[in-house]
Structure 1
Amino acid sequence: MDWYLAVLKKYAVFHGRARRQEYWMFVLFNFIFSIVAGFVDGLLGSVALGVIYSLAIFIPSLAVSVRRLHDTGRSGWWLLIGLIPLLGMIILLIFAAQEGDEASNEYGDNPKTSYV
């Protein structure tokens, strides 16, 4: 949960790097909260909660994705490859699963060194 909150604290921070654990824990908790919101919406017969949650989490999702790409030495513009149906999402999944650069890169220092 701390990783999820850490991403929310960096609401619109598009510079720097995000390690794999930060990214995937955010994805996991985002998935769980989306399911809960969908369940509550189903009980209430509305879509308001899901839409509000999706809008609120959109910018932090973009920011952590850009920082994750930065950790692998790629520009945040690589997110646009996700617009290619299926293939783009597979490529982004591979990028997100890769180990980040061990040393500093043009986007900042290795984020693992600050957590260890």
Structure 2
Amino acid sequence: MSLVLWALFGSNDSFYAGLTSLVAFGLLLPSLGYGIRRLHDINKSGWFLLFILIPFVGWIFLLVWLVKDSDPGDNRFGPNPKAA
């Protein structure tokens, strides 16, 4: 979202730069929560989200884990959210 705002309005104008920063900061916590929840679904610790700090290789590992299907049964983080 913030990249879209930056592409539309540029980063030279202080109002839009501030707006972009505000939107990016507002999306930070929900994004972290979603990533941690997805990692818990596959029985991985939320700390593995820090792999995003490793250029390229960390992103690939994280992408593979985030698109992986949930564990079929319960795991150490709780029951499978898809089990009905």
Q: TM-score range, shorter-chain basis?
A: 0.7 to 0.9
Percent identical across equivalent pairs? 38
When normalised by structure 2's length, the TM-score is 0.81
d(CA) in 1 for partners of 2:44, 2:77: 9
d(CA) in 1 for partners of 2:2, 2:80: 31
Aligned Cα root-mean-square deviation (Å): 2.0
Q: Within 5 Å, which residues of 2 pair with 1:13-52?
A: 33-34=1-2, 36-39=4-7, 41-42=9-10, 45=13, 46-52=16-22
C-alpha offsets along residues 62-106 of structure 1, whole Å, 9 cap, x if unaligned? Answer: 111011000011000111222111100110001011111011111
Q: CA offset at residue 48 of structure 1? A: 1.9
1:47 match: secondary structure: helix
Residue type at the aligned position of 2:76:
E
Residue type at the aligned position of 1:111:
P
1:101 match: secondary structure: coil
Q: Within 5 Å, which residues of 2 pair with 1:1-116?
A: 33-34=1-2, 36-39=4-7, 41-42=9-10, 45=13, 46-114=16-84
Residue type at the aligned position of 1:70:
H
When normalised by structure 1's length, the TM-score is 0.61
Number of aligned residue pairs: give it.
81
Structure 2: give runs of 5+ residues left out of the alignment: none
Q: CA offset at residue 39 of structure 1? A: 5.0
C-alpha offsets along residues 41-68 of structure 1, whole Å, 9 cap, x if unaligned? Answer: 34xx431221111001111111110110
